[in-house]
Amino acid sequence: MIRRFGQCFALATERTTYCFRVMKTGHLEHLYYGRRITVESDADMEALTEKHAFMPGNTNAYDQENIDFSLEDIRLEMSSYGKGDIREPFIEVIHGDGSATSDFLFEKAEIGTGKEAYRTLPGSYDENNGTEHLCVTLRDRQYELRLELHYYVYADCDVITRSARLVNESRETVRLERLMSLQLDFDTPEYIFTTFTGAWAREMRKTDTRVISGRHVNASYTGTSSSRANPFVMLSKADTSEDAGDCYGFNLIYSGNHYEAVEVSGYGKTRFVSGINPQSFSYPVGPGEDFEAPEAVMGYSCAGYNGMSRGMHRFVREHIVRGEWKDKLRPVLLNSWEAAYFDINERRLLQLAEAGREVGIELFVMDDGWFGNRDDDTRSLGDWEVNRGKLPDGLEGLARKVRELGMEFGIWVEPEMVNVKSRLYGTHPDWALQIPGRPHSEGRNQRILDLTRREVQDYIIEEMSKVFSTEGISYVKWDMNRTFTDYYSGALPPERQGEVAHRYVMGLYHCMRELTLRFPHILFEGCSAGGNRFDLGILCYFPQIWASDDTDALCRAEIQTGYSYGYPMSVVGAHVSACPNHQTLRTTPLETRFNVACFGVCGYECDLCDMDEEERDAVKEQIALYKRWRDVLQRGDFYRGRTFARGEGGVPGNITEWTCVSADRGRAVGFLMQKLVQPNTQSGYYMAKGLDPARRYHFYNRRTEDCRACGDTLMYGGVRLKQAFAGEGYNAQARYSPDFASRLYFMQAEDA
């Protein structure tokens, strides 16, 4: 709900309220964002309005007529340099006369419903066209520039999204150095800034930083949203827990270089901004042209991290993921990569597929190595013609034979990359992002195609259309294994190289949009060396993303916990792989590998032909179990309990605990995992979450647990377990209580 009271605006979801007003100067003053409050008139907002008798210290007054306050000490909806506010700006513009001062003042506001698509970028959507929209138009006091601030209210998710658009109505080109998507000012310091950082194979490490002064930045400059710093971040208070306390979550619908900063001013106010990373960004906006900032997402809950996460999860499932696969249950797949790597041929692939059929696999995926002279990672990227020496009957023949086994067929591609050893690079070396005549920084034996060029976009679209048109392809894994280094496009003059990173992202979205429209039946999974591009922008086109190349169960439990703060598990690709693990060389129980993977979109990435009969029987049993509970695990509400990062008392723990509950709260699956065996401990407990307190549930697992209790008992009292981590009989290794052991628990309402 959006309401206007004079010069005041109130945006409300089911549980939150967001308020701001137009000041007498024309600037927008932020008043409140938090749990829902009563706002029926502008008088109700008077208590929220700051009272200033004079400007503090040696700050600067806005102008001679307003000497009672300084913009440096006001909570603002947007900010710029030049009129006294020296904090992180929302916008930076270099005008035609060389000035960097901007002064955007209120002109008008319009309230409507519906969500139009952006011209250059993906965004959220509403199938029911019921989303309320507020557009506030500001105009620069001295220059002919118009700035639009857009607000969209998703009441059912307790989410508000924001974006901005700069329109140049002057006769001169201006240079945009920064345009954020979101600015939020708080009147108190001492927030906990939570970021999710890491690197390849160790994505989404949750890090809490207490911000009491200065500026703290979470950003990517890899050309992607990055495994180094995911664009999802949180702000909370020190006493916030999983289930209690104030928590703000923020994300960005963007797949390129991003920037999130928290700054505490000298006057104790906290500012948060989020948007495109301004580092090396410089974008000319000519007369009559405009620039769209990505859409930013913000959610709040007074019910702790889990409360905020549930709203974010609903928002992603209902207003980001789209298309035919939005609500479909995802198939259990078998990927050939760790079984064969590049050493593939039709005979070996069909043997693997036949083994998959025997255990219940629904989708067989051929990974890298099927095209050109692709015997290793040094050659043939860009040459998307099937290698007939490996696949004598072509893609069509292999797909047909896999489908005759009763499974769907999928394929791996990496469209954005090119090897120097390829026909494509030999023909079009200028199509790579590289500085002409200068040494190039090498990575993964490949270079990045210049998607700022329309002809390169067209090439990718047409080459991939040829591949995807193969009869029988129902799944595509879209990879991208290299970060950006030498930012340079030969298609742009020297003075416009600051556009390259953003233009690349727009070109990528054009390719993805066109291909997903051409092939709506295909299930696309995004992959960028694992989690290098795990973001809402990709999820606008691909309904799931490969979360990490690290398939070690212990690592994956931590990685998936990290993702769960901002993303639903229904978008997280997770596989059971062989041991010793190919990334860590660690050995973990097969049972645990499955238990972790089944909370994401479950698949297998191992050589089933190399397994003994006992292991294959175990896998068959796992897949049958997953199919029985797949609707809960893929569609249910996800809750965190204790985690390795934050155990009891807020200290690092030895236990990770998850619960996934169906929408009607009639069925639930619980997960409990220990990191290491602790001596002289036999008992343990599991605390359910999200159940109906008044309903009675049958609580059980495959071997040792079986009881009946009300939901409130299972949630608030918990279940004391028998031999908490004794194995459940998948194989001989699981018959005792090892390191990295785990259990699944099932809860069925007796009246369901």
Q: Which two tokens stand for residue 87?
A: 């904090």
Note whether 488 and 497 are within 8 A (CB).
yes
Q: How far apart are CA 532 and CA 481, in angstroms?
A: 8
Q: Which two tokens stand for residue 614?
A: 């006992």
Q: How far apart are CA 405 and CA 357, in angstroms?
A: 7
Candidates 464, 442, 446, 460; CA nearest to 379 is: 446
Q: How far apart are CA 93 and CA 285, in angstroms?
A: 10
Q: What secondary structure letter does DSSP report for 27?
A: P
Question: If you average pLDDT over residues 313-338, what whole number do you get?
Answer: 97
Q: Which two tokens stand for residue 584?
A: 């860590």
Candidates 99, 83, 82, 102; CA nearest to 91 is: 102
Predicted confidence at residue 723, as pLDDT, reads 66
| Cα 456 → chain centroid | 27
Which residue pairs from 698-702 have beta carbons closer than 8 angstroms and sit at least 24 positions apart in sequence?
698/747, 698/748, 698/749, 698/750, 699/745, 699/746, 699/747, 700/745, 700/746, 701/728, 701/743, 701/744, 701/745, 701/746, 702/625, 702/728, 702/729, 702/744
Catalytic member of 377, 549, 552, 637 = 549
Candidates 442, 621, 648, 647; CA nearest to 561 is: 647
Question: Domain 2-319 falls in which CATH fold?
Answer: Beta-galactosidase; Chain A, domain 5 (2.70.98)
Identity at 647, one-letter amino acid code = G
Catalytic member of 479, 535, 552, 692 = 479
Domain spanning 333-436+452-486+516-634: CATH superfamily: Aldolase class I (3.20.20.70)
pLDDT (tens digit per residue) in 630-682? 999 999 999 999 999 876 666 778 999 999 999 999 999 999 999 998 887 76
Q: How far apart are CA 442 and CA 207, in angstroms?
A: 31
Q: Which two tokens stand for residue 505?
A: 């992202």
Strands 8-12 and 16-22: antiparallel
Q: How far apart are CA 205 and CA 222, in angstroms?
A: 18
Task: Domain ranges for the chain, please list them.
Answer: 2-319, 333-436+452-486+516-634, 638-749
Q: Which single residue is written with the structure tokens 């973001």? A: 535
Q: How far apart are CA 606 and CA 628, in angstroms?
A: 23
pLDDT band for 734, please (50, 70, 90 cuts).
Answer: very low
pLDDT (tens digit per residue) in 138-150? 999 999 999 999 9
Q: How far apart are CA 528 and CA 515, in angstroms?
A: 18
Question: Which H or E run contains 702?
Answer: none
Question: Which H or E run contains 53?
Answer: none
Note whether 707 and 688 are within 8 A (CB).
no
pLDDT at 306 over 50: yes
Burial 339-374 (b: 16+ CB within 10 A, else e): bbeeebbbebbbebbbbbbebbbbbbbbbbbbbbeb
Alpha helices by DSSP H, listed for 167-238, are none
Predicted confidence at residue 735, as pLDDT, reads 42
Strands 16-22 and 28-35: antiparallel
Q: Which two tokens stand for residue 207?
A: 């890090």
Question: Domain 638-749 falls in which CATH fold?
Answer: Immunoglobulin-like (2.60.40)
Identity at 719, one-letter amino acid code = V
Residue 479 annotated as catalytic: yes
Note whether 527 and 417 are within 8 A (CB).
no
| Cα 477 → chain centroid | 17
The answer to whether the 2-319 and 333-436+452-486+516-634 domains have the same CATH topology is no
Q: Which two tokens stand for residue 138?
A: 């500001």
pLDDT (tens digit per residue) in 364-409? 999 999 999 999 999 999 999 999 999 999 999 999 999 999 999 9
Q: Give the mean pLDDT of the chain.
A: 95
Going from the C-alpha of 409 to that of each of 111, 308, 350, 400, 452, the distances in angstroms are 48, 38, 11, 8, 32
Predicted confidence at residue 730, as pLDDT, reads 44
pLDDT (tens digit per residue) in 47-99? 999 988 888 888 888 888 888 889 999 999 999 999 999 999 999 999 999 99
Q: What secondary structure letter does DSSP report for 313?
A: H
Q: Which of 270-279, 329-338, 355-364, 722-731 has the lowest mean pLDDT?
A: 722-731
- Longest C-alpha distance within the chain, in Å? 85
Note whether 457 and 510 are within 8 A (CB).
yes
Q: Which single residue is written with the structure tokens 């503090």? A: 56
Q: Which single residue is written with the structure tokens 């809960």? A: 632
What lies within 8 Å, CB to CB, of 481 at 6+ separation is: 414, 417, 444, 446, 528, 529, 532
pLDDT band for 538, please (50, 70, 90 cuts).
Answer: very high
Q: Nearest 5°: CA angle at 128, between 127 and 134?
A: 95
Note whether 105 and 139 are within 8 A (CB).
yes
pLDDT at 153 over 70: yes
pLDDT (tens digit per residue) in 701-712? 987 789 999 999
pLDDT at 173 over 70: yes
Q: What secondary structure letter does DSSP report for 378?
A: T
Cα-Cα end-to-end distance for the chain: 35
Beta bridge partners of 209: 193
Q: How far apart are CA 504 and CA 452, in angstroms?
A: 5
Whole-prediction pTM value?
A: 0.96
Alpha helices by DSSP H, listed for 423-564, are 423-427, 454-468, 500-518, 536-539, 553-564
